[in-house]
């Protein structure tokens, strides 16, 4: 039994010593999810350039550019023409369909066809 108590205490000490890094990683993850959701909401309305998205979301254009690049890389958004020297971005067609199918899934019972 004393080995179990020692192991439990060692784990508690380890968690306590790493708490700041866990909290920091959690905060960064929440910020990233919140930012991606805000960008997607802007693009649900209409295609937009990086500066337009940055203004709507309230972040620097450099930060928005990184998020847009990642979303484009993973197929969440696509280029939708150009506005002067800036590309316009819109949600990918599959992304919009996924949102619609999620709404249908939420309204149907398991095993029921939409």
HEC letters along 37-92: HHHHHHHHHCCECHHHHHHHHCCCHHHHHHHHHHHHHCCCEEEEEEECCEEEEEEC
Say whether 34 sits in a helix, a strand or coil.
helix
pLDDT in tens, 62-90: 999 999 999 999 999 999 989 889 999 99
Alpha-carbon span 75 to 65, nearest angstrom: 15
φ, ψ of residue 82 in degrees (nearest 5): -130, 150
What domains can you pick out in the chain, each with its CATH number?
2-107 (1.10.10.10)
Q: Is the pTM of this model over 0.75?
A: no
Tell me the mean pLDDT in the region 88-96: 81
């Amino acid at each position: 039994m004393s080995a179990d108590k020692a192991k439990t205490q060692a784990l508690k000490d380890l968690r306590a010593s790493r708490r700041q890094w866990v909290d920091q990683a959690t905060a960064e993850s929440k910020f990233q999810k919140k930012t991606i959701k805000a960008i997607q909401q802007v693009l649900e309305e209409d295609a937009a350039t990086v500066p337009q998205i940055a203004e709507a979301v309230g972040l620097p254009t450099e930060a928005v550019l990184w998020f847009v690049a990642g979303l484009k890389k993973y197929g969440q958004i696509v280029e939708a023409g150009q506005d002067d020297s800036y590309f316009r971005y819109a949600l990918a067609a599959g992304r919009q369909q996924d949102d619609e199918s999620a709404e249908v899934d939420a309204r149907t019972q398991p095993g029921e066809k939409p």
